[in-house]
Amino acid sequence: MVVGDRAAPARTEGETPAARGDAEGHRRLRFLRSRWAWILAATALVLVVTFCVLTTVLFVYPDLNSPERSDAIVVLGGHGLPAVDKGEQLAREGYAPTLAFSLQPWVPCEPWRVKIPHVRVLCFRANPQSTQGEARSIAHLAAHDGWKRIIVVLPTTQATRARLRIGRCYAGQILEVGFSPQGISEWLYQFAYEWAALAKALVLQPSC
């Protein structure tokens, strides 16, 4: 044994420094991949939860109102008998002296002119045929007839967007009375439609 000599580090048989470096690099790469996978998974989870919460707040449980005595009840178009029945019910219960139906151009008005004591029933056709067009028509009718408070009958899923649209055109008080879509497929369709329509209202059409 020579004084001052140091024993060489133990070396795995057949392993070279380059091989040890490659193994360490692979371990680091696996660690980084695993870390980024967790980060991406956590981010995706946050986005999904946020989307579900916003969908619930905006379209499932929006800011609806209890009906109060108003100047008019306005039934937005394209939603069939549930909307018509709800509008007629409110009119028969005496919530407003005017009941207005928004109709598509090809739908005749006469069948909608139900006889309700002390209630004037009228129809209007929005231009364009959209919630934006309906908001403009409501503002025109309100200015003509002096409506200060209206009840708007609409699907629950449309309430957030309709309040935004109508509020841009009409300065009076808006009370929204909603009814729920029927069936899971209709709910899912409405969610997809309302997200796209709300984005359009906020980004592409920010005015009345």
Rounded to whole angstroms, the Cα distance separating 106 from 109 reads 9
Q: What is the band of 176 on the pLDDT scale with cuts at 50, 70, 90?
A: very high
Mean pLDDT (the chain, rounded): 85
DSSP output for 33-74: HHHHHHHHHHHHHHHHHHHHHHHIIIIIS---------SEEE
- Say what percent of the chain tops pLDDT 70: 83
Question: Would you say domain 72-204 falls under CATH 3.40.50?
Answer: yes
Q: What does the pLDDT read at residue 33?
A: 67
177 vs 108, which has greater pLDDT?
Answer: 177
Rounded to whole angstroms, the Cα distance separating 82 from 95 reads 18
Q: What is the mean pLDDT of residues 180-194?
A: 91
Domain regions of the chain by residue span: 18-61, 72-204
Beta-sheet strands, E only, within 70-148: 72-75, 98-102, 120-124
Question: Per residue in 9-56, pLDDT tens?
Answer: 555 555 555 555 555 656 666 656 677 777 777 788 888 888 898 888
Question: Per residue in 56-100, pLDDT tens?
Answer: 899 999 999 999 999 999 999 877 778 889 999 999 999 999 999
Contact between residue 167 and residue 143 where contact means Cβ atoms under 8 Å apart: no
Q: What is the band of 1 on the pLDDT scale with cuts at 50, 70, 90?
A: very low
Rounded to whole angstroms, the Cα distance separating 54 from 157 reads 12
Q: Is the pLDDT of residue 148 over 70?
A: yes
pTM over 0.85: no
Which DSSP symbol is given to 77?
S
Q: What is the band of 112 on the pLDDT scale with cuts at 50, 70, 90?
A: low
| Paired tokens of 10 | 């133990």
- Say what percent of the chain tops pLDDT 90: 58
Distance of CA 148 to the CA centre of its chain: 27
Contact between residue 197 and residue 164 where contact means Cβ atoms under 8 Å apart: no
